Structure 1
């Protein structure tokens, strides 16, 4: 499932995902909203607090459950990352997570609300199990399980699942391949220096 890195080179902000929003990929729709509404009844009936958790320390948008999910998705989508030495992999993952968080934080309120629906669904164990087949915590999910879930959503007849898979893959791809440290591993020599400087001046 290696994405084409050349489409994402030199992207250090949220432009690519804003384009996706304009094309409608973030319209995950009423299906996710209804599922989350049902899931929210469980802690309420049990007398538990349903207050929204704060973002992960050092993050502006991603919550701890979101970070765990993207840690599981990164080596499933970026295949060379799964093969990297542990120290390098940890550094690249953390830098990619910061890019993903910055991309989400830079989006408009509407797009953020749709992302929150999607991430909330995947944070709920019953819903995650039913829709992805992954019952355990994200920290225990294997790249093969994550790849199978994404393939299942991409092949689904439900437009909401198709859209969810596209958004997750694009977020990971943009977040990772925007890193100059990731270019060499994918065989990309880097952007033309003059063009890169002109675009980022």
Structure 2
């Protein structure tokens, strides 16, 4: 399941536009079924007499929570195959920069879009629901690229529009968050923007 290729982006400004376009598009509609499933998981701590506060973002992040970061760490090498093949130090650096881009995009979304994305992320953070919806029964840290690719392919091929939209969001956030990085351009075959034009536009 190849991700959107960076050659479809016209240049650095197009990369940035694509990244921030996710804040404008209402393509994710989680729907009543997912909302109800997520509400059911929230009943467990309530019945036990405790209602945990909203988790804080991961240290160094504005919006992504620790479980979101773990999910995207599993998504990145599955969607960006060249990242999976990079030497460990380079991979770690690119991965961290991509995570920051994803976090910045999510933090810049409107409240409505954030609420819908949070529902999706919340479902995928719940082990029972993640197992039921993706087939991944372990923590994200134990998921292989092949397992992640398989679940994304199923979601994209599903007749359920909500799953199609969820896969699109995950792939777009992940792939654009990576390919907007100048350090990723050489590996993808993109030579970068014309230096003179780029300097003139950003002087």
Mapped to 1, the partners of 2:175 and 2:201 lie a distance apart of 20
- The TM-score normalised by the length of structure 2 is 0.91
CA displacement, residues 68-118 of structure 1 (integer Å, 9 cap, x when unaligned): 000000000000000000000000000000000001111111111111001
Which residue is equivalent to 2:64? 62
Which residue is equivalent to 2:2? 2
Equivalent in 102, 105, 110 of residue 112 of structure 2? 110
Residues 64 and 199 from structure 1, CA distance in 2 versus in 1: closer, same or farther, beyond 3 angstroms?
farther
Residues 177 and 18 from structure 1, CA distance in 2 versus in 1: closer, same or farther, beyond 3 angstroms?
closer
Equivalent in 144, 151, 154 of residue 153 of structure 2? 151
Mapped to 2, the partners of 1:168 and 1:11 lie a distance apart of 22
Runs of 5+ consecutive residues of structure 1 not aligned to the other structure: none
Aligned-residue offset at 1:193: 2.1
Q: Does 1:85 align with 2:87?
A: yes
Say if 1:13 and 1:102, in contact at 8 Å, map to a contact too. no
Say if 2:23 and 2:108, in contact at 8 Å, map to a contact too. no
Aligned-residue offset at 1:33: 1.1
Aligned-residue offset at 1:20: 4.5
Structural RMSD (CA) = 1.9
Mapped to 2, the partners of 1:97 and 1:112 lie a distance apart of 17
Which residue is equivalent to 2:198? 196
Runs of 5+ consecutive residues of structure 2 not aligned to the other structure: none
Residues 103 and 14 from structure 1, CA distance in 2 versus in 1: closer, same or farther, beyond 3 angstroms?
farther
* Count of residues paired in the alignment: 201
**SS of residue paired to 1:98:** helix
- The TM-score normalised by the length of structure 1 is 0.92
- Of residues 41-50 and 152-161 in structure 1, the stretch that sits farther from structure 2 once superposed is 41-50
Aligned-residue offset at 1:14: 6.4
Mapped to 2, the partners of 1:57 and 1:137 lie a distance apart of 20
Equivalent in 26, 32, 43 of residue 24 of structure 1? 26
Say if 2:23 and 2:109, in contact at 8 Å, map to a contact too. no
Residues 12 and 5 from structure 1, CA distance in 2 versus in 1: closer, same or farther, beyond 3 angstroms?
closer
CA displacement, residues 45-84 of structure 1 (integer Å, 9 cap, x when unaligned): 2334332110000000000000000000000000000000
